[in-house]
Structure 1
């Protein structure tokens, strides 16, 4: 369905996308995971033909975005990070407008708007103006607008930012259902748990590059340690951190100076916890908190970059 081949993009001589490559199969749900500023939205804009890429190529259904952007746009539904709706128009009027923008006839747009309103769970609010809606309801209509022309590929860029839990769950279930019905989905987020729930394969993006690509199981198997010990201390001492590095079971340590805490990747936590606490006490440090965390995409990203996804 989609092939991204070594695309690059610079703004004012600063390269923000640095040779990104990945592919998405028809009917797949693919996640792009990374912190804000990683290059996810820029990559999405280039896939949709909204932004020209400097080099490389992007193929949608075998057709180059650069050579035939108008054909590509008919196949893609885009849910942007920002709300793209007219606030003084009703939910129904917005959907009909965007349906016509996608090339639907007036009667087809009206019929499809009713189907979409039902799908996003807002048929009873169809006549109300968007400006009266909550953030979560606006997001749901935003998704509805992208579904009006029944696209082959749905691209969602951070669709749950800043919304209430109920709307967030509704959006996640809607995306899941669309994918199960055969729609190809690309879902970008810096919320690891959303991508883990929705996506079969995942690309982790950081500083304009894809730094890891595969299934969740594949990616988590790359973790150096089997468990992460999150240790909060009264203060950090370099000699204590250096002492931990000498422990046989310790694979890697990530230091958070702002919060006086350590993320300690270990082979097994069974013996490691007691040894680490003893060492802390011996170094004259007070253990403020201790948490064991099983490997997930958050810990993989932390290990690969030394930063949290939400930094």
Structure 2
């Protein structure tokens, strides 16, 4: 591990009020949870929290059911609405117009753009924060008492170090156990294969996430046609004039080619311009919450 990464890693808290594992049910957070069960990082977390957007692939929910049986600490599933239903109704979690996912835009003047991404905050961060406050005994809008400190475990590996971010809450300290072990994504995959050779790890991301690369879109289309059809229907609704409400001055698409998803010819042999969830360090950074 490079010296600068080592220097910014916080020391584990000695006696936190609560240890919470942020569980995305992807590769890294799954391995982190299983390693935590054997106390590879010290004392086990008190619980794990999985923020359910309501539109995860079926294989993710199935994998989560299996994972819960492998660990002794409880897994809380929390939610803040259903992102698919909200997209269908052009609403966000507060009931206001438009649910903002980072869809691709063709503006009226023909230029390209992207919509703001609020989905991580609305469907991941907020419900997790709400559950943590509940677990430490806080009522809505109650201030956190002095001395309360929560340690939040994040499943970020060495190859995703750019996704590290401190908590916005002064009473929460983020911790990155996989970084402490200098583990990369392939290390996590190797660790899992050695212990569970008959199982595969799912990719945790909403079915219609605009940051799917062409390999992922092709995987969904070929292996989960019902889920691909759901994504196509949402993609079509994005361009329904009645759903737009005049908010977006242009056409919205789920794919970077900015054509209907049904018409996209996925190029799985080379880079296509479709943005990958983990590769763009600025625009696509996802707060360490989605797909880990």
Same fold (TM over 0.5): no
Q: TM-score, structure 2 length as denominator?
A: 0.23
Q: Which one scores higher on RCO, CA 8 angstroms, separation ≥ 6?
A: 2
**Bigger-Rg structure (1/2):** 1
